[in-house]
Structure 1
Amino acid sequence: MSTPHVLLGLLAGGSRHGYELKRAHDERLPRARPLAFGQVYATLGRLERDGLVAAAGQDRASGPDRTAYELTGDGRSALDEWLSAVETPMPYVASTLFTKVVVALLVADIDRARSYLVAQRAAHTARLRELTSVKTDPAASVSDVIAADFAIAHLDADLRWLHTTLDRVADWYREVHP
């Protein structure tokens, strides 16, 4: 996720201060990792330094001064460019799931690899059930449903890989231990 671009996108609807941006992020991207306040303010500082946002005033509502930020013309251009760019599919497998299985097989621990695959399949299946219930919840927002759809698609791909890998490991084991 590109935190600077997400913040630019949130500012496209009008000026906001850091607390509002953090809250809007967590509401609009409900299944994403929540942003820390420090991350929001540090990112706003870099965006302001780079001329992509500008201070739009301060308000004091029963606490310290809060600076609101707004998108600049350069910020809108940067956001439009980012939204128009097609993402390159990931060239490398970067998954702890994949890595653990490969390492278990490298150390010739077939039982550990199989046990891990079975346990991981159970964990993925349980998470799939949780996400499916989100989609059928009448109180779920559109953001909740599309986030659940995204996660379900990835879990489904992982489950297919887990199933295929369990079959391959079993076949390999039978070949090595006739």
Structure 2
Amino acid sequence: MSFSDALLAIMASEPRHGYDLKRLYDERFAGSRPLAYGQVYAALARLQRDGMVQIVKVAQEAGPERTVYAITGAGRTALQDWLGKTESPGPYPADELVRKTLSALYLGADAAGFLDRQRTAHLTLMHDLLQLQAETAETGARIALDHVIYHLDADLRWLETASQRLTESGSTP
């Protein structure tokens, strides 16, 4: 579900309106491209349609009308499912790895356990790709495998660094 899961994680602590969700998302995931307001409201509409969030209040203070959304029981279940699954190691899972790790950290969930499981998934794929590369004679195929292997290696270095930071900080945001 991509960044929608991260929005659910942000709403897990308290109901929020779209502007607040965008601001917190951009703060928490500073290395990612900032969300556009349209993305946030489109995601909220899908989440509401799917029963993951509900409108709890429409407030108009000094500025424009603000619709406040809260995560539902189904949303909490979906969030826990998302946090419990590793990402498919492969080309470019990094954004989802970061979103999932930070969401687990901010929720007080087992971010270290997720990182360990993800590292295992990455190492398994790395082993398989290195074996395939050793058996492949065609230059183009070897070059393509190099690309995937180097990205996995970078992810593995990031996973190790993130685990170390959690250990050093005592797993607090």
2:83 aligns to what? 83
Letter in 2 for 1:36: A
Look up the SS of the partner of 1:51 in the other structure.
coil
TM-score, L = length of structure 1: 0.51
Look up the SS of the partner of 2:32 in the other structure.
coil
Letter in 1 for 2:24: A
2:71 aligns to what? 71
Aligned-pair CA distance for 1:93: 8.1
Unaligned runs of 5+ in 2: 94-139, 141-156, 162-173
1:3 aligns to what? 3
Aligned-pair CA distance for 1:67: 0.4
Label 1:61 to 1:150 Cα distance change in 2 as closer, same or farther (>3 A): farther
Deviations 1:58-84 (A, max 9, x none): 111212211000000000000000000
Unaligned runs of 5+ in 1: 95-105, 107-148, 154-178
| Partner Cα separation in structure 2 for residue 24 and residue 93 of structure 1 | 23
Letter in 2 for 1:48: Q
Letter in 2 for 1:70: A
Aligned length: 100
| Partner Cα separation in structure 1 for residue 26 and residue 92 of structure 2 | 28
- For 1:69-148, what aligned pairs fall within 5 Å after superposition? 69-90=69-90
Q: Which runs of 4+ in 1 moved over 3 A?
A: none
Q: C-alpha root-mean-square deviation of aligned residues, in Å? A: 2.7
Letter in 1 for 2:66: R
1:48 aligns to what? 48
Look up the SS of the partner of 2:44 in the other structure.
helix
1:39 aligns to what? 39
